[in-house]
Structure 1
C-alpha cells in the first residue's frame, strides 16, 4: 500500500524520551491518519493511531492498524519520517 507522508515531527526529553507525530495518507483510504509514536530510548516503540481531521470509517482504521502491526517496513518508515524532523532541528 502506498503511504504519503503529509507532515512529521519528533521531540526528545529525558522524562518522556522520544515523542513523534506523523500525518499520512494511505492509498485507497478516504481519510488521512495521524500516528503518535513514543519510545523511552529510541529502540522499542509504542503508538496510537487516529484519524487526522475527523472521524472516519472504523473498518478502514482497523485495516490500517493491522497493516502497521504486520508490516515492519511501513512502521519503520513512519518512525524514520519523524526522526528526520528531530535531526533537522
Structure 2
C-alpha cells in the first residue's frame, strides 16, 4: 500500500450513521491528507479528500484522488483503519 496511516477516527450514531476520518501520508511525500468518511450503512461510503495539515500541490491531491477512485484495496484499507477505531458500544 502506498499510504502510511497516521490517525484514524470513527464514530457512529443512529441519526448520522458512520462519520470518520483518516489522516495519511502518500508515498514518501511530506504532505498529509485527510479522508473524511460518511456512511449510513457501513457499505456505501461518501468521502471527501483534503490536505490535513498544510496545503500541498494540486497535482498531489489530484493524484491521490485518482488513486482512491481506481484502487478499491487502498480505499478499503483506509475505511478498515477508521472502522477499527470505532469505540465499542
Q: TM-score, normalised by structure 1?
A: 0.93
Unaligned runs of 5+ in 2: none
Aligned to 1:32: 32
1:3 positional shift: 0.9
The corresponding residue for 2:10 is 10
Superposed displacement of residue 55, structure 1: 1.3
State the 4+ residue runs in structure 1 displaced beyond 3 angstroms.
Answer: none
User: 1:58 — aligned with what?
Assistant: 58
User: Cα distance, 1:87 vs. partner?
Assistant: 5.1
Counterpart CA distance in 2 for 1:37 and 1:60 is: 20
Q: How many residues align?
A: 89
Gaps of 5+ in 1: none
Q: Which stretch of structure 1 is more off in the superposition, 20-29 or 33-42?
A: 20-29
Deviations 1:24-49 (A, max 9, x none): 00114331101000000111001000
Give the C-alpha shift of residue 88 in structure 1: 5.5
